[in-house]
Structure 1
Amino acid sequence: MKAAGRSVRTRLRDRVAASDPGLLRLTAGLRTVGAIALALGVLAVFGADVPHLVAGAMAAMVATFAIREKELGAQAVTLALGLPVALASVSVSSLLTSRMVIGDVFFVVLIFFAVFVRRFGDRGTALGLIGFQVYFVSLFVGADPSVLPGLLGAIAVAFVCSAVVRFAVVPATPAGILQRLRQAFRARLAQLIATQIELLDAGPGGIDRTLEHLRDGTARLHETALMIQSRLEDGTPDASTARLVQRRIADAEIAAERLGLLLLTARSAERADTLTLHLPGAPAPSVGSSPAPGEATEILRRDLGALRTLVLRPPAEARGTALSHLRNRLLGYRDEENLPEAIPAVQDVFRGIGETARAVMGLRIALDGPQDESDDTPATTRSREELDAEDAAIDAGEEEAEKDEPTGLRRPTTRAAVQVSVGSSLAIVGGEFLSSQRWYWAVLACWIVFLNTASTGEILVKGYRRVLGTLLGAVAGIGLAGVVGDHTWVAFGLVLLLIFAMFYTAPLSYTLMSFFVTAMLGLLYTLLHTYSLSVLLLRIEETALGAACGIVAAALVLPIRTDRRTNELLGTALERLTDVTEGAVDQLSGGPAADLLDKARDLDQALGDLRAATQPLTHPITPLRARRDTARYVVALLETCAYHARSLAATAELLPTHPSIAADPRLRGAVRRTVRNIEAIAAHVADEDADKGVETGPSIASLLQFEAGGVPRYGRITGRVLRHLERLDEAVVGLARPLGVPVATPER
């Protein structure tokens, strides 16, 4: 019974970990709700009236969500600095409440500096956000000099309560977050393997749905890997440990993705295209009504389930001969003599299972420490020796090159500060025409559409989502306000629920977040006895006006067009792709060791930035359907290129220690054409009049031909490298066509 209970708890924990990696959304929601609830309780004990309760609740929310540093010490410093900023902001707002013109001018100046200080990192961003939001809170509750002392006290209480909840009630250390992200990676890896088992059994009617699940699972696993990489520096004791974990995470991700491709190939009549795993809506390969019957298929199904068990089993339950037997059997597939009798494509799947099992063992050692070796077979011992040799070869030393930062109006924070200031000025003027009392809602909407956006298209999409969420939230607010009536604490309880939902859904859907915000504000209006249908309709009008002002300012004042930004990010991604490919092939050709892991991480980051920047182009409501399909296709091709580049880098990292991998100088020549093609595409993206074109020629796979007598020219590992190069070369040529780069075939 105890074992069954642990099993249920483990499955539940894994499911939660997979849905919310690192429990970051849950932590944000609990912290914010806890800080607000504690502030309300303390203020109620001191007999604060409803306006002070509302101000304290909103200040506690701001003091909690504005702090984004990862280290607890840095968070404490920023929170301490934020309190005087908040007190100064509410004081000036209260003193200027009767001087409309001066107050409006000061508000615009405050907005400018609140955005401008983002250049100083997380601390500058937090202090600017606190200054702006607390000024808004004072406008919301109608603060004036007569209530200023009580308001200052409420804000001070809110900041203290936020600190108590952050550091004592819901603490989150970098090491703890990283540990939960590791668990999320394991859970999502197990989910991906479960989907691969579904792929093994999928028939023609279900292959499209299963393939879509496979794409989602692969993308979710990659997302978690990037989250782990962003936390390694702060969450590990030293740089060497960080690099070890980074390598093992990358190995497991690449092995799992390759296993999915091998399964697709085994189920279809021809080798699966890597693009199939990255392009939404890509046609699924043709498959039969069921997998080929036979003993090999049954063994394959069994061993995929065993691999999933190997991934999921916690360290405390990993001891014993049963799990050791599974691990030894799966690692045995790395030896040719242990492969079952089957067609070559199915044997490749078994090899993929063996390589994935090795990656899982390396991940377990890196995350959980040394493992029990008493039941190791020779194949397992050899895999351990390879992993130990790789660990010993890790060089933690690294130097970061200084980056040239733009200056003046070219600096993103300065340009955004000017844009949002102009937009806010327009919003103030327009908002005053709509309402002399609620005009600040238009300013808030204008401010918010500029947060975390970098192009006119992103601001347009965010503004549309803001208006849609506000419209739906206003309807919900009408219903909730009618239900609550005059029950103050019931209203506050619902406010806490809506705030939790707002922070829990914020990373998933901006529309949902706006919905919960507006519904919450309807309840706050009820508490302040200012609720009416006309107020909520005015809220919608002010929000639409503010979003429109933000869009106008972004389009006319120092604009960054979506095409320009995506081209810049596309050029950066191509540059990073060249760095990884050249570095990996140079090392595989006998060149000196390079920092390939960090180069691969830079490539992933560049792709993530590009993917976010293309959202306005790929949004479902965009009228430019052909352009949307092109953007999706280009991003999918780049993700395909990145997969093969990461695979090359991972193989190159094994070169100094792996006994079956040897440098081959001929590889350097195989990649020259691909690198030239990437550079030609990058030149065309930077300048459409560039005269460079993409060249095609004999397939790189021709290097895999057999010499006379049937003797392979290369070993299996080198053959895999060349296949990655071939797929990379094909994807790069495919990338040239939608981007309008000329493709030339040389004369024979």
Structure 2
Amino acid sequence: MRAEVRGRFAAADPGLLRLTAGLRTVASIALTLAVLAALRVDVSHLVAGAITAMVATFAIREKGRSQQAVTLALGLPVALASMSLGALLNSRVVIGDLFFVTLIFCAVYGRRFGDRGTALGLIGFQIYFASLFVHATLPALPGLYLTITVAFGCAAVARFVLVRQTATGILDRLRRSFRARFAQLVAAQAELLDAGPDELDKAVEEVRVGTARLHETALLIQGRLADGTSDEAVARLVQRRIADAEIAAERLGLLLLTARSAERADTLTLHLPGAPLPSAAVEPVRDEAMERLRLDLEALRLLVLRPAGPEKGTALARLRNRLLGYREEENLPPAPSAVQDVFRGIGEAARAVLGLRIALDGPQDESDDTPATSRSREELDAEDAAIEGAEEEEREAEEATGLRRPTTRAAVQVAVGSALAIVGGEFLSAQRWYWAVLTCWIVFINTASTGEILVKGYRRLLGTVLGVVAGIVLAGLVGHHTWTAFALMLLFVFAMFYSAPISYTLMSFFVTAMLGLLYTLLNTYSLDVLVLRVAETALGAVCGVIAAAVVLPVHTDRRTDELLVETLDRLADVTRAAADQLSGAPPVDLVEKARDLDQALADLAAAVQPLTHPITPLRSRRDTARYVVALLETCAYHARSLAATAELLPTHPAIAADPRLRGAGRRIVHNIEAIAAQVAGRSPVPGIETGPSIAAMLAPGTLGAPRYGRVTDRVLRHLQRLDEAVVGLARPLGVAARLPAAV
């Protein structure tokens, strides 16, 4: 029971990244408050210390501990200088406002210099903001210097002693999260077998969500491999095994859905919410083969969850051997072909789990291996050797310059927006105008288009309104109980960081509720102040949107088109390289190409959120955006599967190179490039080629070809589905079709 609870928690928070961020920030603030209380400073210094400790903790995002220490050390003089300037310019309104706008420009422009530049910019801006919040003056500077120094020291203790986090530890926790989410997906797939006609939509949605969450964890692991593994070869090996497991899990879901139907399931069903199910879905079957299938799915779930360890003579080793036997047609029960395919899919998933264990935990006990298990190990060993010997292809990206550089553009935009917010904020309140500036600053963080800024501003305003209501209630309950207010503030800080990746609205709610408590501590609480907070937030969001729309604008359509072209280019790269390798070309680094495709697709999915948001008035465009992304996710799945199969070519006896596959892949690549040309506005735009199916072009017996085996059939199926998905993608993007000159 305890292991199951840990597994659910690990699945809910991959790598415990949100939990760690919340605990570290709370520990930093609590330690700072304890030290400052022992020094008997006043409440305003306690508030300044709490803000500084929070900033010194969340601003640093570098992965290496030594890099974090250097940035933290550099952040202290930046913070001291920022507080000094805030106190010095406190009474000089015009000069102070001009400096604030300049500081904002420099802080945003600092993102150009990576994580360290971003962190120092955040520290400079937030500490200057804190000086305005606590009304810093020149006589108070010595005490504030002490407060800031204590806060940075406590932030260092919290980061490096109390809540330690290493790259290896994060990767290990992410691995556990991947295992937990894999097991949850298998459980959801088992539920699919028993779902009645009225429950089938819900069961498929659970599988769809589980598949997306597994892919999310795989991307997180890929981003941590370089720092969390001993060398590049190990990182590449783990990356390949994670990809294998993800592909096997998604394929198993498709096979199960097909087994529940009288027709083959469409891959799009697992990527597009609300996609129609196979029209001929049948009632759940209760025969002997299906009962055995349910037991084997549970066995696979246990195999995924069970950590590596001694397996000799255990039931787990016997289960593993039985599941791996399905790969070689051993003990397949009498059943329809679609049901037998599910058993084979379970065998492939068990092989993926075995490969993942070997990659992560080293060699396993082989004393109880059956011949089928031994052959799986031999294949994995041969693949491992091929992966370690592959060379990584480096790609040089063209970097924009001048005002076309994203960091420069964003710096100019946020500076203009902040200037508007200062002017407007002064009309609303001469004392608290800086709230409008803070909102304008925040809505620009991690955004790249006008639509993203609009949605983020709307979410922040909604969270602020709800937080004001909570602040009114809490301020009345807390009164002037200082330490009760600080305890609640720590709780809200933890909730703020824990909820931030999930819901920006929820995070804004906790921020505003926390500020209501800070107002109470500073004896500035009133209903008028909190209402003013809402007005300043709305003003800041509006100023941010105006600046983004007028100054060097990057419209959402332009941003999504750029990322769509990038995704299509990466898809063409993977498809071309996989088809060439399956045709007998020399091996290339297909795993890295597939990773580039996944990252490009993730960036695109994030960028289209303004188009798919519920407040979007254009429903047809929203539906089109969702459909296009779902089709691209379908294409990516088949391209990853082709890449994984192509990398098996040198070691798998059931796969043989076929030169005709290059021609089949060429048509698909041509169509992808035609769509990319249409989206990019290049002219002339070639039409996509349609004609005989890929499977028909490569049917057994044509051109004197030998009969294909099961693995080759799978290659053809992926090529065929990829071809269909690409043709389907051409329709909503307005690319005309034409028949090929010759087939």
Fold match by TM threshold 0.5: yes
Distance 1:297 1:703, change over 3 A: farther
Contact 2:393 2:589 in 1 (8 A): no
In structure 2, what is the Cα distance between the partners aligned to 1:420 and 1:433?
20
Distance 1:715 1:257, change over 3 A: same
Say whether residues 1:741 and 2:735 are aligned partners. Answer: yes
Contact 2:261 2:282 in 1 (8 A): no
Give the equivalent residue in structure 1 for 2:128: 135
Contact 1:33 1:496 in 2 (8 A): yes
- Specify which of 687, 695, 713 is matched with residue 693 of structure 1: 687
Residue 334 of structure 1: SS of its match in structure 2? helix
In structure 1, what is the Cα distance between the partners aligned to 2:526 and 2:475?
9
Within 5 A, what are the aligned runs for 1:574-593?
574-593=568-587
Look up the equivalent residue of 2:731 and give its one-letter code: R
- Specify which of 219, 226, 232 is matched with residue 233 of structure 1: 226
Look up the equivalent residue of 2:674 and give its one-letter code: A
- Report the CA distance between 1:337 and its aligned residue: 4.3
Give the equivalent residue in structure 2 for 1:278: 271
Within 5 A, what are the aligned runs for 1:35-74?
35-74=28-67
- Report the CA distance between 1:307 and its aligned residue: 0.4
Give the equivalent residue in structure 1 for 2:596: 602
In structure 1, what is the Cα distance between the partners aligned to 2:705 and 2:560?
48
- Specify which of 288, 291, 294 is matched with residue 284 of structure 2: 291
Give the equivalent residue in structure 2 for 1:541: 535
Say whether residues 1:637 and 2:621 are aligned partners. Answer: no
- Specify which of 120, 123, 143 is matched with residue 116 of structure 2: 123
In structure 2, what is the Cα distance between the partners aligned to 1:318 and 1:552?
63
Look up the equivalent residue of 1:245 and give its one-letter code: V
Give the equivalent residue in structure 2 for 1:461: 455
Contact 2:238 2:356 in 1 (8 A): yes
TM-score (structure 1 length as normaliser)? 0.97
Say whether residues 1:506 and 2:500 are aligned partners. Answer: yes
Contact 1:645 1:728 in 2 (8 A): yes
Say whether residues 1:656 and 2:644 are aligned partners. Answer: no
Give a deviation string over 1:705-741, Cα, whole Å, max 9, x none: 4449x99632221111111000000000000000111
Say whether residues 1:345 and 2:338 are aligned partners. Answer: yes
- Report the CA distance between 1:690 and its aligned residue: 3.5
- Report the CA distance between 1:703 and its aligned residue: 4.0
In structure 1, what is the Cα distance between the partners aligned to 2:614 and 2:671?
32
Residue 425 of structure 2: SS of its match in structure 1? helix
In structure 1, what is the Cα distance between the partners aligned to 2:99 and 2:705?
80
Give a deviation string over 1:253-306, Cα, whole Å, max 9, x none: 000000000001110110000000000111222465632332111111110110
- Specify which of 540, 549, 559 is matched with residue 555 of structure 1: 549
- Specify which of 680, 688, 710 is matched with residue 716 of structure 1: 710
In structure 1, what is the Cα distance between the partners aligned to 2:324 and 2:177?
24
In structure 2, what is the Cα distance between the partners aligned to 1:307 and 1:373?
19
Say whether residues 1:416 and 2:410 are aligned partners. Answer: yes
TM-score (structure 2 length as normaliser)? 0.98
In structure 1, what is the Cα distance between the partners aligned to 2:335 and 2:700?
22
Contact 1:175 1:236 in 2 (8 A): yes
Contact 1:704 1:713 in 2 (8 A): no
- Report the CA distance between 1:744 and its aligned residue: 2.4
Contact 1:704 1:719 in 2 (8 A): no
Give a deviation string over 1:442-480, Cα, whole Å, max 9, x none: 000000000000000000000000100000000000000
- Specify which of 20, 37, 58 is matched with residue 13 of structure 2: 20
Give the unaligned 5+ runs of structure 1: 1-7
Say whether residues 1:257 and 2:253 are aligned partners. Answer: no
Give the equivalent residue in structure 1 for 2:666: 672
Give the equivalent residue in structure 1 for 2:617: 623
- Which moved further from structure 2: 289-298 or 239-248? 289-298
Look up the equivalent residue of 1:198 and give its one-letter code: E
Distance 1:194 1:576, change over 3 A: same
Give a deviation string over 1:466-509, Cα, whole Å, max 9, x none: 10000000000000000000100000000000000000000000
In structure 2, what is the Cα distance between the partners aligned to 1:337 and 1:464?
58
In structure 1, what is the Cα distance between the partners aligned to 2:135 and 2:199?
59
- Specify which of 74, 78, 84 is matched with residue 77 of structure 2: 84
Give the equivalent residue in structure 1 for 2:367: 374
In structure 2, what is the Cα distance between the partners aligned to 1:186 and 1:317?
18
Look up the equivalent residue of 1:323 and give its one-letter code: L
CA RMSD of aligned residues (A): 1.4
- Report the CA distance between 1:335 and its aligned residue: 1.3
Contact 2:391 2:589 in 1 (8 A): no
Contact 2:168 2:228 in 1 (8 A): yes
Give the equivalent residue in structure 2 for 1:365: 358
- Which moved further from structure 2: 127-136 or 369-378? 369-378
Look up the equivalent residue of 2:550 and give its one-letter code: L
Distance 1:641 1:289, change over 3 A: closer
- Specify which of 207, 212, 221 is matched with residue 219 of structure 1: 212
- Which moved further from structure 2: 275-284 or 122-131? 275-284
- Which moved further from structure 2: 684-693 or 364-373? 684-693
Say whether residues 1:300 and 2:293 are aligned partners. Answer: yes
Contact 2:21 2:497 in 1 (8 A): yes
Runs of 4+ that moved beyond 6 A: none
Distance 1:246 1:348, change over 3 A: same
Distance 1:200 1:712, change over 3 A: farther
Give a deviation string over 1:673-697, Cα, whole Å, max 9, x none: 1111111100000117543211210
In structure 2, what is the Cα distance between the partners aligned to 1:448 and 1:65?
14
In structure 2, what is the Cα distance between the partners aligned to 1:688 and 1:384?
49
- Report the CA distance between 1:370 and its aligned residue: 1.2
In structure 2, what is the Cα distance between the partners aligned to 1:558 and 1:320?
68
Look up the equivalent residue of 1:459 and give its one-letter code: I
In structure 2, what is the Cα distance between the partners aligned to 1:283 and 1:544?
41
Look up the equivalent residue of 2:507 and give its one-letter code: M
Say whether residues 1:565 and 2:559 are aligned partners. Answer: yes
Give the equivalent residue in structure 1 for 2:470: 476
Give the unaligned 5+ runs of structure 2: none
Contact 1:116 1:413 in 2 (8 A): yes
In structure 2, what is the Cα distance between the partners aligned to 1:399 and 1:609?
22
Give the equivalent residue in structure 2 for 1:647: 641
Residue 338 of structure 1: SS of its match in structure 2? coil
Give a deviation string over 1:54-113, Cα, whole Å, max 9, x none: 000000000000000000000000000000000000000001101010000000000000
Residue 333 of structure 1: SS of its match in structure 2? helix
In structure 2, what is the Cα distance between the partners aligned to 1:285 and 1:133?
54
Look up the equivalent residue of 1:613 and give its one-letter code: A
Residue 145 of structure 1: SS of its match in structure 2? coil
Within 5 A, what are the aligned runs for 1:181-200?
181-200=174-193
In structure 1, what is the Cα distance between the partners aligned to 2:42 and 2:324?
68
In structure 2, what is the Cα distance between the partners aligned to 1:288 and 1:266?
9
Look up the equivalent residue of 2:147 and give its one-letter code: A
Look up the equivalent residue of 1:300 and give its one-letter code: L
- Specify which of 330, 342, 347 is matched with residue 354 of structure 1: 347
Contact 1:240 1:396 in 2 (8 A): no
Give the equivalent residue in structure 1 for 2:88: 95
- Report the CA distance between 1:317 and its aligned residue: 6.7
Say whether residues 1:151 and 2:144 are aligned partners. Answer: yes
- Report the CA distance between 1:628 and its aligned residue: 0.1
Give the equivalent residue in structure 2 for 1:111: 104
Distance 1:320 1:535, change over 3 A: farther
In structure 2, what is the Cα distance between the partners aligned to 1:179 and 1:746?
51
Give the equivalent residue in structure 2 for 1:3: none
Q: How many residue pairs end up in the alignment?
A: 740
Contact 1:644 1:725 in 2 (8 A): yes
